[in-house]
Structure 1
Amino acid sequence: MTSIRNLALAVPRRGDDVLVFRGHDPARDQTFYRPLGGGIEFGETATQALHRELREELAVELTGVRLLGVLENLFQAFGRAGHEIVFVFACDLADRTLYEHDHVGEILDDAGTPVLWRPLSSFDDTTPLYPAGLSDLLAK
Structure 2
Amino acid sequence: MYPRANTLGIILKNDYILLEEQKGKHSKGYGLFYRPIGGTIEYGERSNETLLREYMEELGVEIIIKRYLTCIENIYKIDEKVGHEITQLYLADFKDEKLYQREIFTVREAQRITYAKWIQKKDVIKGKKVLYPDGLSELLKKEL
TM-score, normalised to structure 2's length?
Answer: 0.87
CA contact 1:25–1:78 (8 Å) conserved in 2: no
CA deviations on 1:103-137 (whole Å, 9 max, x unpaired) are: 2x211225330111101111244521110110111
Query: Aligned residues, how many?
Result: 138
Give 2:36's aligned residue: 35
Unaligned runs of 5+ in 1: none
**Residues 70-99 of structure 1 deviation map (CA, whole Å, 9 limit, x = unaligned):** 100011247632100000100101121221
> Per-residue deviation at 1:34?
0.2
Shift of 1:65: 3.0
Alpha-carbon distance, 1:21 to partner: 0.5
In terms of mean alpha carbon deviation, does 116-125 or 35-44 score higher?
116-125
1:107 maps to 107
Matched, 1:13 2:12: yes
Which runs of 4 or more aligned residues in structure 1 lie more than 6 Å from their structure 2 counterparts after TM superposition?
Answer: none
In 1, the alpha carbon distance for the partners of 2:71 and 2:34 equals: 18
* Distance 1:113-1:77 versus aligned 2 partners, 3 A rule: farther
1:22 alignment partner, SS class: strand
Matches within 5 A, 1:1-140: 2-26=1-25, 28-77=29-78, 80-103=81-104, 105-109=105-109, 110-123=111-124, 124-125=126-127, 127-139=129-141, 140=143
In structure 2, distance between residues paired with 1:97 and 1:78:
42
Change in 2 beyond 3 A, CA 1:93/1:77: farther
Q: Helix, strand or coil: the match of 2:108?
A: coil
Q: Give per-residue Cα distances to partners, 1:3-48, cap 9 Å, x unaligned.
A: 1000110101001111110011236322100000000011110001
Question: 1:78/1:50 Cα in 2 relative to 1: closer, same or farther (>3 Å)?
Answer: farther
Structure 2 CA distance for aligned equivalents of residues 126 and 137 of structure 1: 16
> In structure 2, how many angstroms separate the alpha carbons of the residues matched to 1:36 and 1:78?
25
- Larger % of strand: which? 2
* Partners of 2:65 and 2:90 within 8 A in 1: no
Post-superposition Cα deviations, 1:51-84, rounded to whole Å, max 9, x if no partner, equal: 1111100011111431111100011247632100
